[in-house]
Amino acid sequence: MSIDSVTPLNAGGWEAVIGLETHVELSTASKMFCGCRADIPEEPNTACCPVCLALPGALPVPNEQAIEGIVRIGTALGCEINETSLFYRKNYFYPDLPKNYQISQYTFPVAEHGALEIDVEGEPFTVGITRVHMEEDTGKSTHVGDGGGRIHDASHTLLDFNRAGVPLVEIVTEPDIRTPEQARAYGAELQRVVLALGVSDAKLEAGSMRFDANVSVRRPGEEFGTRTETKNVNSLRSLQRAVAFEIERQIAVLESGGTIVQETRHWNEDTGKTSSMRTKEESEDYRYFQDPDLLPLSVDETWRLRAVEALPELPGAARTRFRDAGVDPVNAETLLDNPALAALFTDAVAAGAPGRLVANWLTGEVIAQLRRDEVDVSDTSLSSSHLVELASMVDGGDLSSSAAKDVLTRAMAGEGTPRAIAEANDLLQVSDTGAIEEVVEQVLVDNPDALEKVRSGDMKPLGFLTGQVMRQMGGKADPKVVQQVLRAKTQGE
Amino acid sequence: MPVDIDIAKVANLARLALSEEELAAYGTQLEDILEHAERVQALPTDGVEPTSHPLPMVNGFRPDERTESLEPESFLSEAPDAEDGQFRVPRILE
Amino acid sequence: MADLADLTIAEAGRGLRAGDFTAVDLLDAVTKRATMTEAQLHAYLTLDSGGARAAAEKADADLASGDDHGPLHGIPVALKDNMVTKGVETTASSQILAGWKPPYDGTAVARLKAAGAVITGKTNLDEFAMGSSTENSAFGPSRNPWDHTRVPGGSSGGSAATVSVGSAFGSFGSDTGGSIRQPAALCGVVGMKPTYGMVSRYGLIAFASSLDQIGPFSRTVEDSALLLDAVAGWDRMDSTSIDGDVPAFSGSLSKGVEGLRIGLVTELMGEGIDPQVKAAVTAMADKLAGAGAEVIEVGLPASEYALSAYYLIAPAEASANLARFDGVRYGHRTEHLEGTTEDMMAMSRAEGFGPEVIRRILLGTYALSAGYYDAFYGQAQRVRTLMRNDFASAYEQVDVLISPTSPTTAFPVGERAADPIAMYYSDVCTIPSNLAGDPAISVPVGLDDQRLPIGFQIMAPALGEEVMYQVAAEVERLAGFTDRAPLATSEVVHP
């Protein structure tokens, strides 16, 4: 495979093989198979009904909007959407799983065979998508007792089923990923795709988007090594760290003559390590079979075409557009992660503002200000027309770039339009050549020594003279114009 | 095909705590029943699609609308053990 | 006037509206009948006297104020105890659910209440509807009203018995492999399984989801149609319920059979069928021919495999359906709590389920487990396709199919209890319709030489309830079966 030839190898010539499984909770109004609210209220067991509690006699009825959501995700990931897909029962006993089976998919998922193009520090990389399938979330267990919430030391457990039955989409990649950086970039790009589609809030810290990382190592060209599955990865940074740790751990085990055990491992954010979860007595046998309570899903051609037409601009296309507008790669990624800023950018550029400059403001002063005030851009008064006006003032020499930043923060604070702010605060730059000429002439008269030097070919005092002019003009002169005038006056006469 | 069942494994999958005597008795009964199923296995069914649903229907969706949830007391009062609005169970193995 | 408890639903409805008696009178009559018979029959697990009384009084008040809810208004109706009833103990005859008071009503229950029916109580069944004799009840067996030493059939034996003796005017059961039709046959009443999806399963404690259907017991075919009318139709809570208009089945009963083509199923008239049963079925086939139908023999070759396929499919689905009974959220929890939750679940389940349920859970778990799925469950689902194909070919030749309902009349208590395979054979004639999802009805056509009822089965294609009822009404007329189970004699318990 051509991938191998460009694959970065780890110390000792080991190659990592990584596949990611991502669970995304859809932000529908109601749960996957019942009408309880899907936004998981804090008060335990207040969003529960016979269906999501698995009371005897209750039956699941699929939420059409959730199916629409997964079709959108599958379409955005370039998957084939199966005309017919099937719900299965995945049978295993666990106290947070009310039916003691999870409704999921097995053969014939909603979508399969897609790909996601990602950007790893400026380099494009493609991750194959094996499948995208629909399932339901479990309830939440709280372990109570001496162990401070740790399962092994708990005396008993409390169960809250508010989350049980929330629609969950699982996205499984091919084992295409080779580095922790790629894993992270994939996670970030997938999150952006899901956010762009508006089907989930995709909050890693809140668990509405979660990663499981399958990691193995091998010598290039060899068969895949034994893999481990690492769970409890709840940030992009943890994803990168957990994968990196697991690669190093496996290499160390193998190089010391050991073997890798196929197991589930738990990422501990505090220690920065993965650890083996207590293994069950025997391997799981999920006894998948088609759920007789649910009919086959049929996504016909009309629906599939509608999903394609309804796709918003995806992050890959947006990245290209930003870069084509002159935005540097780092700022382009920042815009991709800030849809509200990206929207301002898009509108400003459409109205003729220079992309690079606007992007610099948005990803610089604007973000810094938002972070300081802990607000969203929509909470401020900043509009795209402000950006357009500001850019044209800088471009026209009415405002220095440092003054522009000041005006920008004032515009965010609602002090008015940039021009009004600049005028009110006396920040407008003087680029009227006549006014500048007057001051320049006076400065030259006051500094005959400097003038003499320049005239005799020593250009050093030019900077000093410029500074004098700027000082006398209270910093509001356009320095470019000042220099032009100085040159003309010293050379020409 | 002779039927040989690892009945202890099956009971564990089904989360049934059965005694050795019970396992042995159920094992024998299952083997008897499954021998009757052998004639079904002998039936040629190449190219026959399995039937999961008696009628050819699809989707059966509901709109994404909220309906009223139950009052927690209405089901917690039926629970074997409850605490602070939650179901209470002994410690969990894993 | 005859005892009110012996009226049909149709007759009772006319009397109520004529002011001859009240809904409370009807309830009193069936309550008295229950008092007379329950000690012998144990048809009811729960009599909801208070709830029934309130419902009857409301029915009378509504009718007095001109608010008529239709044919079931004020009619006492019993429900199999696997139908979930809000606030009324619902157990499916299992220790694992003993004492459970549901916080909701199933759809069929809610529709019956809306139709003005008076729910008398909950009837006995084989635990989780697994059985053909109502002997597998955790709360003790029911008995056959015609002979108390015999079983009423099952699994809906209690519902069949109540209608047979008049401790309810009508009742509902569930039919997964014959659990309505077989006990109806053994108790001498009409029992009907609708097309799969005709009646919502929401609130029916699941046994085998792709086979289960709720259906009515009644003393007449007309009553059967009235009961079905009240519960049939699409339900937003059941994804598998049929979306479409449902005709009023009670409107298709007097058309006769002239010109209809009727197929007697060859494979269901073979060796295992009791000669008296066979003779009664043949005699009725002749009468139908005499009434103008064209009666021919039709083959359903796959029915030879139906029983074996059924005993893989139903336990497989049941093994998952019954996983939710784990001692966590409701029902029985073991007292041995020294271990983990996993131990608690496994012990609660072993303690709470009876032997037949455990047997089927194990069987189903095995049939679905890795390495065996295709040989067992997958193959059974393909046999199901062959069964449907056979029915499809048969219905190209005929309008309905006929057969015995049960290979024998009521058998003695205990006779088959120790032999699961003999017990499973009780459903050999009824299972094919479940596998195909088609409607079928059992109508009593006579008694054998021990005065035990014989049931006659009429099967129709999916959504063929109208023609099925049309033929059933004619069978009922031709049979002229008016015998009633003898009411308890010397052992009468005084009210």
Residue C494 has pLDDT above 70, yes or no: no
SS in 3 state form for C25-59?
HHHHHHHHHHHHHHHHHCCEEEECHHHHHHHHHHH
Q: Which CATH number fits domain C4-256: 1.20.120.1080, 1.20.1250.20, 1.10.486.10, 3.90.1300.10?
A: 3.90.1300.10
Of C80, C113, C193, C287, the active-site residue reads: C80
Partner residue facing A100 (CB), from C104, C323, C373 = C323
Show residues of chain C in contact with A95, CB under 8 Å.
326, 328, 341, 345
Interface test with B, best of A43, A45, A144 (most B CBs within 10 A): A45
Q: Residue count of chain B, please give it.
A: 94
Q: Given pLDDT bands bounded at 50, 70 and 90, which one contains residue A3? A: very low
Pairing of strands C400-404, C261-265: parallel
Give the per-residue pLDDT at A122: 83
Give A133-183 pLDDT, tens digit per residue.
999 999 999 998 865 556 666 789 999 999 999 999 999 999 999 999 999
Report the pLDDT averaged over residues B16-39: 92
Residue A454 has pLDDT above 50, yes or no: yes
- What's C192's DSSP letter? E
Percent with pLDDT over 70 in chain B:
96
Give the per-residue pLDDT at B76: 98
Q: Report the C-alpha gap between C295 and A414 in whole angstroms.
A: 90
Residue C337 has pLDDT above 50, yes or no: yes
Residue C148 has pLDDT above 90, yes or no: yes
Q: Report the C-alpha gap between A454 and B21 in whole angstroms.
A: 111
Maximum Cα interatomic distance, chain B, rounded to a whole number of Å:
58
Residue C305 has pLDDT above 60, yes or no: yes
Terminal CA-CA length for chain C = 20
- What's C12's DSSP letter? H
Q: Which CATH number fits domain A433-492: 3.10.310.30, 1.10.10.410, 3.40.30.10, 1.10.520.10?
A: 1.10.10.410
Q: Report the C-alpha gap between B58 and A86 in whole angstroms.
A: 10
Q: Given pLDDT bands bounded at 50, 70 and 90, which one contains residue C386? A: very high
Show residues of chain B in contact with A154, CB under 8 Å.
91-92
**Are A230 and A212 spatial neighbours (Cβ–Cβ below 8 Å)?**
yes
Q: Report the C-alpha gap between C331 and C352 in whole angstroms.
A: 9
Give C162-211 pLDDT, tens digit per residue.
999 999 999 999 999 999 999 999 999 999 999 999 999 999 999 999 99
Show residues of chain C in contact with B18, CB under 8 Å.
350, 358
CB–CB contact C342 B93 (8 Å): yes
Q: Given pLDDT bands bounded at 50, 70 and 90, which one contains residue A185? A: very high
Residue indicated by tokens 């030493």: C149
Terminal CA-CA length for chain A = 72
CB–CB contact C369 A56 (8 Å): no
Give A455-492 pLDDT, tens digit per residue.
888 888 888 888 888 888 877 788 888 888 888 888 75
CB–CB contact C370 A295 (8 Å): no
Give the residue extent of every domain in chain B: 7-42
Give C59-115 pLDDT, tens digit per residue.
999 999 999 999 999 999 999 999 999 999 999 999 999 999 999 999 999 999 999
What stretch of H or E contains A61? none
Written as one letter, the residue type at A244 is A
Q: Report the C-alpha gap between C332 and A248 in whole angstroms.
A: 49
What stretch of H or E contains A159? strand A154-160
Q: Report the C-alpha gap between C465 and C245 in whole angstroms.
A: 13
Give the residue extent of every domain in chain C: 4-256
Q: Given pLDDT bands bounded at 50, 70 and 90, which one contains residue B23? A: very high
Give B40-66 pLDDT, tens digit per residue.
888 888 899 999 888 889 999 999 999
Give the residue extent of every domain in chain A: 2-307, 313-424, 433-492
Of C132, C155, C159, C348, the active-site residue reads: C155
**Are C43 and C158 spatial neighbours (Cβ–Cβ below 8 Å)?**
yes
**A54 touches C at CB < 8 Å:** yes
Residue A360 has pLDDT above 90, yes or no: yes
Residue A282 has pLDDT above 60, yes or no: no
Give the per-residue pLDDT at A147: 56
Give the per-residue pLDDT at C200: 98
Give the per-residue pLDDT at B1: 47
- Backbone phi, then psi, for A211, in 5-degree steps? -115, 145
Residue indicated by tokens 């197991």: A263
Alpha helices in C151-261 (DSSP H): 157-165, 181-187, 221-231
**B90 touches C at CB < 8 Å:** yes
Show residues of chain A in contact with B90, CB under 8 Å.
156-157
Q: Report the C-alpha gap between A62 and A108 in whole angstroms.
A: 17
List CB contacts of A366: < 8 A, sequence separation 6 or more: A341, A377, A382, A408, A412
**Are C314 and C281 spatial neighbours (Cβ–Cβ below 8 Å)?**
no
The minimum CA-CA distance between C226 and chain A, rounded to whole Å, is: 24
Average pLDDT, chain C: 95
The verdict on whether C101 is a catalytic residue reads no
Give the per-residue pLDDT at A146: 62
Give the per-residue pLDDT at C193: 98
Helix (H, G, I), strand (E, B) or coil at C81: coil
Q: Which residues pair with A85 in a beta bridge?
A: A297
List CB contacts of C248: < 8 A, sequence separation 6 or more: C225, C229
In the Cβ-directed half-sphere of C487, how many Cα atoms lie within 13 Å? 16
In the Cβ-directed half-sphere of A454, how many Cα atoms lie within 13 Å? 23
Percent with pLDDT over 70 in chain A:
95
Q: Which residues pair with A88 in a beta bridge?
A: A104, A290
**C79 touches A at CB < 8 Å:** no
- What's A146's DSSP letter? T
SS in 3 state form for A216-285?
EEECCCCCCCCCEEEEEECCHHHHHHHHHHHHHHHHHHHHCCCCCCCCEEEEECCCCEEEECCCCCCCCC
How many beta-carbon contacts under 8 Å exist across B and C? 173
Report the pLDDT averaged over residues C297-304: 96
Pairing of strands A80-81, A15-25: unpaired
**B1 touches C at CB < 8 Å:** yes
Residue A124 has pLDDT above 50, yes or no: yes
CB–CB contact B63 A44 (8 Å): no
Q: Report the C-alpha gap between B52 and C490 in whole angstroms.
A: 52
Q: Report the C-alpha gap between C364 and A98 in whole angstroms.
A: 20
Percent with pLDDT over 90 in chain C:
92
Give the per-residue pLDDT at A6: 52
Residue of C nearest to A152 (CA): C340
Give A286-295 pLDDT, tens digit per residue.
999 999 999 9
The verdict on whether C155 is a catalytic residue reads yes
Give C387-445 pLDDT, tens digit per residue.
999 999 999 999 999 999 999 999 999 999 888 888 889 999 999 999 999 999 999 99
CB–CB contact C238 A61 (8 Å): yes
Q: Report the C-alpha gap between B20 and B18 in whole angstroms.
A: 7
Kindly provide the b/e burial profile for residues C22-40, where b requires at least 16 CB atoms within 10 angstroms of the residue's own CB: bbbbbbbbbbbbbebbbeb
Interface predicted TM-score of the whole assembly (ipTM), two decimals: 0.97
